[in-house]
Amino acid sequence: MELFLAFNALTLQGFGGVMPIAERVLVDEKQWMTHKQFVEDFAVAQFLPGPNVINLALAFGRRHFGLGGALAAVGGLLALPLILIIMVASQYARMIDLPEVQGAFRGISVVAAGLVAGTSLKLSSALRNNPMGRAPAILLAGAGFGALALLHWPLYWVMLLIGGCGMLLSALALSRRDRRQPPREPGA
């Protein structure tokens, strides 16, 4: 029940995106994960199809609490927003032209952009442990941003091309690092 309520509280705070709040709650407040675990799970969640936060909730709930935990985490994320969306959708056509509603949507979009930028900056601390190094990781992130936001490439091409380059560069960096390290003695 605590897991359901925690993810339910997350989703009610996350207009425009739950991931920044999920990181704060799961790592800082509840201490159910370390920052490193969150970054690793977030990377996997981004790569899988579907909403990142749903993927993260499924993986977290399953790993720590089994199938029931996965269902509780996802149920917590979806229950109240689903009810809220149904209520809003029933009134949408009647209210969309109101200046107050249009202003609220503009404000929400600015807050969401700020949350994404803040989370990106906070998660960037993990770059110091990246096998490629900070500069190539930042260049790949910039290339991804440029391809999506400026060139309007489809996400699957960005994931395939830029994500593929990132995986290749990481594999090469890990291979070089492994060759530089002396072999371990048995039993060490």
Q: What is the pLDDT of residue 143?
A: 94
In the numeric block, which tokens belong to residue 13? 């705070």
Of the candidates 81, 96, 129, which is a domain's last residue? 129
Number of domains in the chain: 2
pLDDT band of residue 182 (cuts 50, 70, 90) is low
Cβ burial, residue 28 (10 Å; 0-12/13-18/19+): exposed
| Residue 169 domain boundaries | 130-188
User: Which of 129, 156, 177 is the C-terminal boundary of a domain?
Assistant: 129
How many CA atoms lie less than 13 Å away from 35 in the CB half-sphere?
9
Report pLDDT for 125: 78
Domain boundary among 99, 129, 159: 129
Q: Are residues 13 and 102 in the same domain?
A: yes
Residue 171 has pLDDT above 70, yes or no: yes
85 and 161 co-located in one domain? no
Mean pLDDT of 97-126: 82
Residue 38 shares a structural domain with residue 117: yes
- Residue 152 has which token pair? 């309007």
| pLDDT, averaged across the chain | 85
- Amino acid identity for residue 123 in this structure: L
86 & 168 share domain: no
Give the residue-averaged pLDDT of 117-131.
Answer: 78
